[in-house]
Structure 1
């Protein structure tokens, strides 16, 4: 049994992670960041939950870029093939659930 205070988690680099669980090849990780990630397309589905801070989620639909502000408690589901990149506003803590080894 493990209890984690997400608000207290920090990493030594942007997008550093704490591995919480691996359930039959699906990982749950807590990320800390203060910098954008990179545009990517996961090779599986992804659930992205803002636990602390705010994030601008950039995503493309039919080649057109959109931006959605995400605040604490907001959830982004990326289906296979969803091109996206997260841009935190200052520091953010994010829970990511995805296939093991995904980008």
Structure 2
């Protein structure tokens, strides 16, 4: 059993993660960042929940780049093959649920 106060987690570098759980090949991690990630496609599905701050999520749909601003409580679901990149607007904390070892 553990209680995690997400607002207390601060990384020493962008996208630093705190491993929360690994269950049946699925990981749940808390990330802290103040810098964009990189364009990527995960090995499986991904659920991305904004816990603190705002994220400009860029993704490609039918070959066209789309942009959505995610605020606290918003969830981004990346299906298999969804190319995407997260750009925080300042400091952000996000909960990511994905296949273990995924990009």
TM-score range, shorter chain: over 0.9
Q: Specify every segment of 5 or more residues in structure 2 that has no aligned partner in the other structure, as ranges.
A: none
Structure 1 residue ranges, 4+ long, deviating more than 2 angstroms after superposition: none
The 5 Å alignment of 1:9-48 reads 9-48=9-48
Q: For the residues of structure 2 that align with 1:24 and 1:61, how far apart are their CA atoms?
A: 30
* Matches of 2:8 and 2:26, distance apart in 1: 24
Aligned length: 103
What residue in structure 1 maps to residue 91 of structure 2?
A: 91
Structure with the largest fraction of strand = 1
- Report the alpha carbon displacement of residue 12 of structure 1 after superposing the two structures with TM: 1.0
**Equivalent residue number for residue 75 of structure 1:** 75
TM-score, length of structure 1 as denominator length: 0.99
RMSD: 0.4
Return the offset for 1:57. Answer: 0.3
Structure 1 residues 44-90: Cα deviation after superposition (integer angstroms, max 9, x where no partner): 00000000000000000111000000000000000000000000000
Query: Which whole-Å CA distance do the structure 1 matches of 2:98 and 2:29 have between them?
Result: 9
